[in-house]
A and B are shown apart, each in its own frame.
Chain A
């Protein structure tokens, strides 16, 4: 089945540094990927929709300059948390849409998530 690899699975960084998280579809092409954020014991909140070859679409309240998204190929989207602060500590989860076209309804596959801790 479809597999989405997310890396790193966990990362600890110092306040003020930038952290990049990768979301990679391993066995399918994904024109569209989604980035979610989950605080402890809370739900998943959509941050942005990542579109291959174009700018990401951010949800209301999400800082574009803070959370940089790049979807440079059909199998890779990256989320960079710039100048990270402790309040950015969270669980970030990506999902990739497998476009099946005539073969059937599109399917979303989630990565295993990346836990960011900013000291």
Chain B
């Protein structure tokens, strides 16, 4: 069985602060894929990143960066210089193969105050 844990239920920061969202996963599969999605108040899921289990390189995209640590089964997400528009619910998710059914974490509500 697969499991994704996002221990932080809610995070509140002031604009321009850096913030890290934690994600820990459990799986018996040797190959798997990890995702981060953003869900703004409107409800739609916005894809942020996909990472496969055999690629542990960290990735940076603008203000976003991801730290994949296979040894600790973690896939953390950092937003640098946060902005009010970053306020949303962020989900970490896991699947054993591309396009497979996703197991989502509980989600972290991020609120960025001006």
Task: List the interface of chain A (C-beta within 8 A of B).
Answer: 32, 34, 41-46, 49, 91, 93, 95, 97-99, 105-108, 110-113, 115
0 or 1 for each of B19-48: is its CB under 8 Å from A? (1 = yes): 000000000000000000100001111010
Q: What mask results when residues 42 to 69 of chain B are scored 1 for a CB within 8 Å of chain A, else 0?
A: 1111010000000000000000000000
**Consensus secondary structure, chain A interface:** strand
22 intermolecular pairs with C-beta atoms under 8 Å apart: A43-B107, A44-B45, A44-B91, A44-B104, A45-B104, A46-B101, A46-B102, A46-B103, A91-B43, A93-B43, A93-B45, A95-B102, A98-B99, A99-B99, A105-B99, A106-B97, A107-B98, A108-B102, A111-B44, A112-B43, A113-B44, A115-B43
**Chain B contact surface mostly:** loop
Asked if B78 lies at the interface with its beta carbon under 8 angstroms from chain A, I say: no
Within the complex, the shortest CB–CB distance from A41 to chain B, in Å, comes to: 8
Answer whether A43 and B45 are a contact pair too, CB < 8 Å, given A99-B99, A107-B99, A108-B99: no
Q: In the complex, how many residues of chain B place their beta carbon closer than 8 angstroms to a beta carbon of chain A?
A: 18
Min CB gap A87→B, angstroms: 20
Residues in B whose Cβ lies below 8 Å from that of A106 = 97-99
Task: List 9 extra interface pairs beyond A32-B99, A34-B101, A107-B99, CB under 8 A.
Answer: A43-B91, A43-B106, A44-B104, A91-B43, A93-B43, A97-B99, A106-B97, A106-B99, A112-B44
